[in-house]
């Protein structure tokens, strides 16, 4: 219940060189952004929500590559007080605003990404291919709620790829994996992974940063919560692909291109 949850209060500012490096690389890690005790308070309600809907995903073997990558459960904050306290946390939104170097950030949406035991790789993709947001000031916080060992691993990012913006128009799947993988060989991308992570560590990546994640060869559930935020003042972008029309309806309440995004589904999370 929300009243027993620890408050995720803001922390002091990030070091200036971390903000500078994020602008250059399009990704960073903040170790210990939440303490093990704090995460332990949020894991049970989030885990229960994911496990409740898990049967709807069907057997792992019957899914396509994207479906095998994780149980993707969006909008937890709209259905549960504890998830709302997590996803609306000023601590996380403040870090996002600092990294984006903007005065304020709004929620795009949250989602749990639980990679099951035996779950497949997450194909190379750029998130912002999905998002009709007329800004490059977008960011995802990706926080494991359990310790993730080296052989499960966290994401791999292509350094500086966010500066190229759209590198293709693939949505996530076998095609995006093959296309970006051959680009990687041809162009010799420099990549970074932060490897093993503790519960409460978090990576942040920009919406245009090209990334993937390895499969889960273990018997553990890779329980991860993500929060996607964008700069306050952002407008709806022209709709150029079917997945963007979907996002426009689901995450932006159908707001028309050119409209400033400020509806109740996209609350201002920083400053509070
Ligand atoms: O959790 C994963 O495997 C990938 C997550 C991801 O692609 C994202 O948060 O943008």
Give the pLDDT confidence score for residue 188 in this predicted structure.
96
* 70 CA: nearest ligand 1 atom: 3
In angstroms, the CA 255 to CA 269 distance is: 20
CA of 141 relative to ligand 1 center, distance in Å: 10
Architecture of domain 15-265: Sandwich (2.60)
For the segment 208-217, the average pLDDT, to the nearest whole number, is 98
CB of 70 sitting under 6 A from ligand 1: yes
Cα of 148 from ligand 1 centre, angstroms: 14
Count the neighbouring beta carbons within 10 Å of the beta carbon of residue 12.
Answer: 6
Range 127-153 average pLDDT: 97
Calculate the dihedral angle through the C-alpha atoms of 153, 206, 103, 233, rounding to the nearest 10 degrees: -130
Domain ranges of the chain: 15-265
Query: What is the pLDDT of the chain when averaged over all its residues?
Result: 97
CA–CA separation, 201 and 22 (whole Å)? 16
108 lines ligand 1 (CB under 6 A): no
For residues 82 and 42, the answer to whether their CB atoms sit within 8 Å is yes
C-alpha span between 205 and 209 (Å, rounded): 6
162-206 pLDDT, tens per residue?
Answer: 999 999 999 999 999 999 999 999 999 999 999 999 999 999 999
Mutate which of 96, 155, 229 for ligand 1 pocket (most atoms within 8 A of beta carbon): 155
Output the residue whose Cα is nearest ligand 1's atom 7. 212
pLDDT in tens, 228-266: 999 999 999 999 999 999 999 999 999 999 999 999 999
Q: 140 CB under 6 A from ligand 1?
A: yes
Model pLDDT, residue 254? 98
Tokens of 249: 């309806």
Terminal-to-terminal C-alpha distance of the chain:
22
pLDDT confidence of residue 3: 56
State residue 165's pLDDT score. Answer: 97
142 CA distance to ligand 1 middle (Å): 7
């Amino acid at each position: 219940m929300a009243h027993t949850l620890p408050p995720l209060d803001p922390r002091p500012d990030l070091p200036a060189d971390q903000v500078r490096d994020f602008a250059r690389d399009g990704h960073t890690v903040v170790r210990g952004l939440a303490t093990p005790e704090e995460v332990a308070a949020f894991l049970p309600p989030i885990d229960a929500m994911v496990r409740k809907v898990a049967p709807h995903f069907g057997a792992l073997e019957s899914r396509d590559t994207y479906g095998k990558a994780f149980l993707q459960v969006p909008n937890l904050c709209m259905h549960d007080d504890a998830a709302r306290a997590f996803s609306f946390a000023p601590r996380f939104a403040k870090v996002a605003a600092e990294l984006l170097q903007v005065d304020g950030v709004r929620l795009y949406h949250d989602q749990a990404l639980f990679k099951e035991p035996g779950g497949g790789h997450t194909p190379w993709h750029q998130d912002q291919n999905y998002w009709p947001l007329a800004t490059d000031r977008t960011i995802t916080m990706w926080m494991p709620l359990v310790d993730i060992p080296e052989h499960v691993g966290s994401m791999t990012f292509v350094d500086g790829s966010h500066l190229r913006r759209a590198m293709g128009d693939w949505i996530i799947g076998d095609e995006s994996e093959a296309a970006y993988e051959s680009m990687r060989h041809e162009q010799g991308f420099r990549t970074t992974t932060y490897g093993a992570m503790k519960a409460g560590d978090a990576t942040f990546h920009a919406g245009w940063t090209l990334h993937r994640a390895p499969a889960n060869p273990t018997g553990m559930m890779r329980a991860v919560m993500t929060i996607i935020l964008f700069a306050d003042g952002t407008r709806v972008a022209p709709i150029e692909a079917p997945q963007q029309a979907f996002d426009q309806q689901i995450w932006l309440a159908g707001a028309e291109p050119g409209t400033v995004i400020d509806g109740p589904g996209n609350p201002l999370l920083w400053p509070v």
